[in-house]
Structure 1
Amino acid sequence: MQSFRTEIEDPIVQKDIIDLERKIALFRDGKIDDERFRSLRLARGVYGQRQEGVQMIRIKLPFGKVTSEQLHRICKVSDEYSTGRLHITTRQDIQIHYVSLDRTPELWAELEKDDVTLREACGNTVRNITASETAGIDAEEPFDVSPYAHALFQFFLRNPVCQEMGRKFKMSFSSSDKDTALSYLHDLGFIPKVVNGERGFKVMLGGGLGSQPSHAELLSEFIPVNQIIPTTEGVLRIFDRYGERAKRLKARLKFLIKDLGRDEFLRLVEEEKKALSYQTVEIDTTAFDGAIPTSILEVPKVVIEDTVAFEAWKKSNVFAQKQAGYVAIGIKVLLGDFYTDKARLLADLVKNYAANELRFSLRQNIVIRHIKEEDLPFFYQELAKLDFVTLGYNTIGDITACPGTDTCNLGIASSTGIADELERVLKTEYPQYSNNQEIAIKISGCMNACGQHNMAEIGFQGMSINAGKLVAPALQVLLGGGNLGNGEGRFSDKVIKIPSRRGPDALRYILNDFEANANGLSFLNYYDAKGEKYFYEFLKPLADVTNLTEADFVDWGNADNYVKAVGVGECAGVVIDLVATLIFEAKDKLTFAQEAFEDKKWSDAIYLAYAGFVNGAKALLLAENEKTNHHAGIIDLFDTVFIESKKIELDSPFKDLVYQIKADEPSEAFAQKYIQDAITFFGKIEAYRAKDLANA
């Protein structure tokens, strides 16, 4: 199992993987408690799943971009360590399931051979940065946002500022004002703009879905491109310092902004400017500005026999690029699941005959880019062999669904089972909707909205419903959500809860009424004209639980009667703070700070020392049965409990000592002083702790 160590060229990556292996061994030996270990593995893309003893591995693919070599590497890993199934998520990641925990370091090492990482794909970190899958080819884009998404990914990967926040942090880059990356429901959402010839972004702040969806607020109408990394770092620093840590359901950025108010939050961000690692960051775009590469092999000429099917496919799944003469192909992937046998052939196809690049989409699909129009017959022929020419890319029949009760601990009802059935209903009963891109259907297995159900025109959320002494799987029907463009969107209304087995009938009722009564209105205008109560009334008969049959107690895609079983969620698990663990971690932070200083990374060294201050202070507060819910509270309370009471003697208030971080620029001299201050402080708290234990 150790051989992978010598195969990783990047020493930082090698250290990371070895650390995971070491922590797994400590966990197996009972030297790290389960909750603390969970936090560590989540930040390395290792996520517990519903089935005991195996893990889901999330592979982080910035803005969904993947090369042939990377896809082959992912396939190799999936076949060797998993089951050969690849799952595309709504954040453009790839997930593989049923992986042994003990083999995750080897798996990670294999992926890194082609520059693919697991780092910070889960946990309380900056998650995968998403972008419109059409970025770089969108005819309406002011410029390609891909290099800017990539730059943010690189800058914040392993960045000390965002390793142990109170909750996850999500960012997106849309290619144009259509806002197809949904900026309004992200912690930070970027929409490209050109003002007076200068590139920049409209930036949205503090959006989110979950059980309490929140529309992002405007941070700025225009931030120049060289300011997006400093702006993001400032936001992350304030979120890390003031964000809720005790109450998980209130720990997202949207709640902090609501509590502080937008103006006060932005004042704190502005106050942080002096401490930032860089005041401006120029982003290199040259890697994305080159000419479209020619294919390795000459594309064969092909004559299509079924021209009707070919033309239907072109109309449904092919769209023009901004580059003259080139088109992109959308592959509709049922529920985001595809398998390594076909993935390998697809990887070979784009390497040999296209530009060696795929993009995974927010709707769990695949886009092949840079195809010459005259080569479409060949690609249609080859994709048909892989069963990748199903019509309906990005249409109503292209349903988004999370894994739900298939593998997720939090799943309440089946997402994939009902999605399968709804797609069948649309295909067989509503062929007139085959190219409808106005209505999106999205399904989540619980309130956490991984399937984005509460921002769709038609959404379903997995629930349960009581029917006497029995419990049946149920669906909350939501209507009226949608993306309006340029940072504006709307969330859907919770209309009615029905047994899951009646989900297809609910869809039939809605579409039938729309056809009969919309009179040319768009779906959202029709919904607004009729109002929520109107839909509730005609769906109400489906909510009656007095007439349930035996079949109603079996969820979609299952053979056995429904049992509501919800495990512990791991999307960003809260860490149990044990005094000894925190002191140990504070020591680690100071060691890492010194290593960063030796590498001349002044800003990283300073922030790691800051984390050492906070962890050490928190440890002593917990030992006194004092609790706080954010970093700023820890700093204030430490002064009250230990400094003002003279239990610990410092030359200044603790607050002044720690908050040097925002008063001084990240220079070599300040980094050296700040680390020494932290080491001195830590010596005092260790002495106090030793004395306290001796007197216990």
Structure 2
Amino acid sequence: MQLDESHAELKSKMQEYLAGEASATDLKHASAPLGVYQQRNDQFMARLRITGGHLTLADLRTVAGVITSNGIGYAHLTTRQDIQLQDVPAEQVCDVVQTCNGKGLPFRGGGGNTFRNIAASPASGIGADSLFDVMPYAKSLNDLILGWDKAFQLPRKLKIGFYDSPSEELAAAVQDLGFAAKVVDGKPGFKVYGGGGMGRESAVGVTLFDFLPAYLVPKCALAMTELFYDHGNRENRNQARIRFIVKRLGEGRFVELFQEYFAEADPQVALFPGWELDLTQELAALQSSPGEAPDNADYRNWLARAVSPTRFDDDVVTVRVFVPGGDLLAAQLGSLAELAEKCGGSFLRLTPAQDVLVPLVRRDSLPSVYRFLKTAFPETDVLLDSLVGHVVTCVGSTVCKIGILNSPAAGEAVARSLDDMLAKRPELGPAAATRVVDCIRVSGCPNSCAGHPIARVGLQGQKARIGQAMEPVYQVFARPGDALAISEPVGGLVKEPDIAGTVRELILAQLK
């Protein structure tokens, strides 16, 4: 189905739904492939695809304007680097979809049995350990796959990711198709994983190529799309992801089958990657706004938590803006665009931790950046003064129609306990707060939207019979060190009131 047809079907079904002539289930068949889902409050969530989390300032301002003009509640940053527009009135859904798509911000593939938003390292090409910039490959592949009809007629979702440093190889390994940057004889390429994933029966993927030259990425992606289209389970939704093909065939036969598809694949691409970002030009455009550094512990703590080095000279750093709950109002989106503009940047990056990365900042501008954030966000903790709001969770059962437990509430309880722990252990240092944020993921159901299966400490919400009643409980998972493996269950089910203490002990062990 072409894009215009998808929009027309959504408009028709929404009109029927508003007139009482179609059910919510009928509407979902048309809305899900465009990333539009009904919330528990009967308003809607509309998920924008933001490839690799790379967001121009113009895009950011477009989103802010759409929120304001359509009476939308807020923007939610996801763990897959999308933007979800939450609390969209039903009457505004179609206008929002059309407006954003017309501005180059598509919804197609935001949900349903389609290829989903392509993930990428937030500091790609910029971080101190970056092998090379993978963002051009993510952006170019996204543009290419949007033209493949089969990518929108799959048995289930297809997730692809690109990662630019060895420290992120596990993230690549749990994609349906994951690309981990690798350089051989000075030439860029990727170690390629297939059939990984999180959710029901989470799994690390199998190695498809130890080294794939970068120009062959489209051929690889087309092969996997065709294989999935032909061999995915269309009868049982719970067995439909690519990892279940691996399970059914065995790793060896799956790799053989993939290689057969790879040999036949011809994506007919003249130039790849076709999208580029001139980081040299971005560096030249950076602005300095020197200011006197505050002589206080709050500022020094912020430096330790939010500022990271880059692969450029010591004068250029990245700044992480911590976003409580991943939620931002329209005015706050505008403030972030203003901040990046003041620094001389043309883009921001969304992170899997539901935060925002200002990727290029002159070090002498840090005092000004700090003051701007304190002024622009007076009632929102974007500096990580507390862990409350910053433990990464899914939206939970109060918003999501398939959620089981209120994961943000569990995240808050965990955060308060860990705030207390860090206050009593000053020897751990201020940067420990960032390490804690990056350690924990809380999902309110087995769907793993928060990414708990690869967290150092992960929580999965569920209901279990305890005595005569069904009680809210969490299964705790842990992953030691840098193992390229799925996190393992730790102990039995933990009652909701006891979860903060359990996590506290596990985190303390991680920080030692």
Measured in 2, the distance between the counterparts of 1:228 and 1:125 equals: 19
**Aligned positions of 1:57-72 closer than 5 A:** 57-72=46-61
Deviation at 1:481, TM superposition (A): 5.7
Greater CA drift, 271-280 or 306-315: 271-280
**Aligned positions of 1:443-482 closer than 5 A:** 443-480=442-479
Structure 2 match to 1:318: 307
Deviation at 1:30, TM superposition (A): 8.3
Structure 2 match to 1:213: 202
Structure 2 match to 1:241: 230
The two structures have a TM-score, normalised by structure 2, of 0.89
2:125 paired residue among 114, 131, 136:
136
Report whether the alignment pairs 1:496 with 2:492: yes
Deviation at 1:301, TM superposition (A): 3.4
Confirm or deny: 8 A CA contact 1:225 1:282 kept in the other structure.
no
Structure 2 match to 1:54: 43
Measured in 1, the distance between the counterparts of 2:286 and 2:348 equals: 18
- Aligned residue identity for 1:499: K
Confirm or deny: 8 A CA contact 1:172 1:181 kept in the other structure.
no
Deviation at 1:82, TM superposition (A): 4.5
Measured in 2, the distance between the counterparts of 1:283 and 1:273 equals: 17
Measured in 2, the distance between the counterparts of 1:174 and 1:274 equals: 25
Measured in 2, the distance between the counterparts of 1:242 and 1:36 equals: 27
Measured in 2, the distance between the counterparts of 1:239 and 1:182 equals: 21
- Aligned residue identity for 2:325: L
Measured in 2, the distance between the counterparts of 1:446 and 1:407 equals: 13
Structure 2 unaligned segments of length 5 or more: list them: none
Measured in 1, the distance between the counterparts of 2:169 and 2:298 equals: 28
Q: Cα distance 1:417–1:286, how it changes in 2: closer, same or farther (>3 A)?
A: closer
Two-structure CA RMSD over aligned residues (Å):
2.8
Measured in 1, the distance between the counterparts of 2:111 and 2:219 equals: 23
**Aligned positions of 1:74-473 closer than 5 A:** 74-179=63-168, 182-273=171-262, 276-278=265-267, 282-284=271-273, 287-293=276-282, 299-324=288-313, 325-385=315-375, 386=377, 387=380, 389-391=382-384, 398-431=390-423, 432=425, 433=428, 434-436=430-432, 437=435, 440-473=439-472
Deviation at 1:323, TM superposition (A): 1.9
Greater CA drift, 111-120 or 159-168: 111-120
Measured in 1, the distance between the counterparts of 2:185 and 2:343 equals: 40
Q: Cα distance 1:345–1:396, how it changes in 2: closer, same or farther (>3 A)?
A: closer
Please state whether the residue corresponding to 2:282 is helix, strand or coil.
coil
Deviation at 1:158, TM superposition (A): 4.4
Confirm or deny: 8 A CA contact 1:313 1:389 kept in the other structure.
no
Please state whether the residue corresponding to 1:95 is helix, strand or coil.
strand
Confirm or deny: 8 A CA contact 1:327 1:371 kept in the other structure.
yes
Measured in 1, the distance between the counterparts of 2:294 and 2:262 equals: 64
Q: Cα distance 1:68–1:58, how it changes in 2: closer, same or farther (>3 A)?
A: same
Q: Cα distance 1:231–1:281, how it changes in 2: closer, same or farther (>3 A)?
A: farther
- String of CA shifts for 1:480-514, please: whole Å, max 9, x gaps: 36653xxx2332224221221111222244456x3
Measured in 1, the distance between the counterparts of 2:409 and 2:388 equals: 17
Q: Cα distance 1:482–1:406, how it changes in 2: closer, same or farther (>3 A)?
A: farther
Please state whether the residue corresponding to 1:496 is helix, strand or coil.
coil
- Aligned residue identity for 1:357: F
Structure 1 unaligned segments of length 5 or more: list them: 1-11, 515-521, 527-696
Deviation at 1:464, TM superposition (A): 2.0
Higher strand share: 2
Deviation at 1:31, TM superposition (A): 8.2
Q: Cα distance 1:267–1:282, how it changes in 2: closer, same or farther (>3 A)?
A: farther
The two structures have a TM-score, normalised by structure 1, of 0.67
Q: Cα distance 1:172–1:274, how it changes in 2: closer, same or farther (>3 A)?
A: closer
Please state whether the residue corresponding to 2:465 is helix, strand or coil.
strand
Confirm or deny: 8 A CA contact 2:391 2:441 kept in the other structure.
yes
Measured in 2, the distance between the counterparts of 1:440 and 1:402 equals: 15
Deviation at 1:378, TM superposition (A): 0.9
Confirm or deny: 8 A CA contact 2:74 2:87 kept in the other structure.
no
Structure 2 match to 1:17: 7
Measured in 1, the distance between the counterparts of 2:392 and 2:324 equals: 9
- Aligned residue identity for 2:78: T
Confirm or deny: 8 A CA contact 1:227 1:280 kept in the other structure.
no
Deviation at 1:208, TM superposition (A): 1.1
Q: Cα distance 1:290–1:475, how it changes in 2: closer, same or farther (>3 A)?
A: closer
Deviation at 1:456, TM superposition (A): 1.6
Measured in 2, the distance between the counterparts of 1:480 and 1:181 equals: 12
Which structure has the larger Rg over C-alpha atoms? 1
Q: Cα distance 1:382–1:263, how it changes in 2: closer, same or farther (>3 A)?
A: same
Q: Cα distance 1:320–1:510, how it changes in 2: closer, same or farther (>3 A)?
A: closer
Confirm or deny: 8 A CA contact 1:319 1:327 kept in the other structure.
yes
Q: Cα distance 1:473–1:503, how it changes in 2: closer, same or farther (>3 A)?
A: same
Measured in 1, the distance between the counterparts of 2:138 and 2:363 equals: 29
Q: Give % identity.
A: 26
Measured in 2, the distance between the counterparts of 1:281 and 1:197 equals: 23
Please state whether the residue corresponding to 2:303 is helix, strand or coil.
helix
Confirm or deny: 8 A CA contact 1:147 1:285 kept in the other structure.
yes
Q: Cα distance 1:197–1:338, how it changes in 2: closer, same or farther (>3 A)?
A: same
Q: Cα distance 1:422–1:126, how it changes in 2: closer, same or farther (>3 A)?
A: same
Measured in 1, the distance between the counterparts of 2:200 and 2:449 equals: 11
**Aligned positions of 1:614-629 closer than 5 A:** none
Measured in 2, the distance between the counterparts of 1:427 and 1:204 equals: 38
Q: Cα distance 1:392–1:459, how it changes in 2: closer, same or farther (>3 A)?
A: farther
Q: Cα distance 1:45–1:286, how it changes in 2: closer, same or farther (>3 A)?
A: closer
Measured in 2, the distance between the counterparts of 1:426 and 1:397 equals: 12
Measured in 2, the distance between the counterparts of 1:287 and 1:376 equals: 28
Q: Cα distance 1:57–1:284, how it changes in 2: closer, same or farther (>3 A)?
A: same
Deviation at 1:36, TM superposition (A): 5.7
Please state whether the residue corresponding to 1:443 is helix, strand or coil.
strand
Measured in 2, the distance between the counterparts of 1:351 and 1:343 equals: 12
Confirm or deny: 8 A CA contact 2:443 2:451 kept in the other structure.
yes
Q: Cα distance 1:471–1:274, how it changes in 2: closer, same or farther (>3 A)?
A: closer
**Aligned positions of 1:556-575 closer than 5 A:** none
Measured in 1, the distance between the counterparts of 2:452 and 2:267 equals: 39
Measured in 2, the distance between the counterparts of 1:101 and 1:80 equals: 14
Q: What is the aligned length?
A: 500
Measured in 1, the distance between the counterparts of 2:176 and 2:150 equals: 16
Measured in 2, the distance between the counterparts of 1:134 and 1:416 equals: 27
Deviation at 1:353, TM superposition (A): 2.9
Please state whether the residue corresponding to 2:126 is helix, strand or coil.
coil
